[in-house]
Amino acid sequence: MSEPPIIILVRPQLGENIGKAARAMLNFGLTQMRIVNPRDGWPNPSAGPAASGADIVLEQAQVFDTLAEATADISHIYATTVRKRGVTKPVLTPQEAAGEIVTAQGRSAILFGAERSGLETDEVAAARKIITVPINPEFGSLNLAQAVILCAYEWSKHQGLASPPKVDIAPPAPQKELDGMIRHLFGLLEDRGYFFPEKRTAVTQQTLRNLLTKPGWNSLEMRTLRGVLSAFGKARQD
């Protein structure tokens, strides 16, 4: 059985909403919350009353300045969003995502964006897959705690029902290793003048990042590819 998923709140605005999200988590047995760049700082005095007793979640909550820091040790990242925003990633329902999480090797996390705007495009691009709730297209409005509770509930339903993988395979590499490999590749490509014209650099890099974050590469595969890139760079110097 895998570890419970980590709930990551990205740029949350109100302490009350963080508290309500903590309450939703603990309702279904989730206790690991990470908070990225909260608008009103942390700790927030409004979070405790709204949590209605879910103090353990708030007390253990970890705060990070950036999403990259918050996901550095995560192997499976899911982004919740009502639209894909041009990012070509597999799209799952909360139920489908929960089914994957309970059998996954390595740590999983679910990202939730700010209350008004949700996750930004670059934040969604950091995820391996997208979670979208099948919702009334005429009124697709969920608050933060509602979105958290839907994912937590689906995860709780799968507890005890999933079988461990029959094949002992290495877990996907954590996000920190993947980001390092991508920076390595971008540096080599920049040296060889790949990013041309310059005004298309950001779009080209985002397309490459989307491509490279699709597979669930393990650490051995990541090191192998980094070795290939190093040889590529050495050939350039020679």
pLDDT at 204: 87
Give percent of the chain above pLDDT 70.
Answer: 92
Rounded CA separation 27/152 (Å): 8
Give the residue from 96, 99, 94, 100 showing the smallest Cα distance to 112.
94
- Whether the model pTM is above 0.85: no
Q: Where are the domains of the chain?
A: 6-157, 175-237
Q: Say whether 163 sits in a helix, a strand or coil.
A: coil
Please state the rounded mean pLDDT for residues 37-64.
Answer: 96
pLDDT at 237: 60
For all residues of the chain together, what is the average pLDDT?
A: 88
Note the pLDDT tens digit of each residue in 164-214.
455 667 888 899 999 998 999 999 888 888 888 889 899 888 888 887 887
CA-to-CA separations, 202 to 66, 126, 130, 179, 195, in angstroms, rounded: 19, 15, 22, 16, 9
Per CATH, domain 6-157 is 3.40.50.2300: no
Note the pLDDT tens digit of each residue in 56-107.
999 999 999 999 999 999 999 999 987 655 667 899 999 999 999 999 999 9
Question: Does pLDDT of 108 surpass 80?
Answer: yes
Tokens representing residue 102 in the block: 């309970």
pLDDT at 137: 76
Give the residue from 28, 54, 25 showing the smallest Cα distance to 157.
28
- Please, which residues have CB within 8 angstroms of residue 199's CB and are 6 or more apart in sequence? none
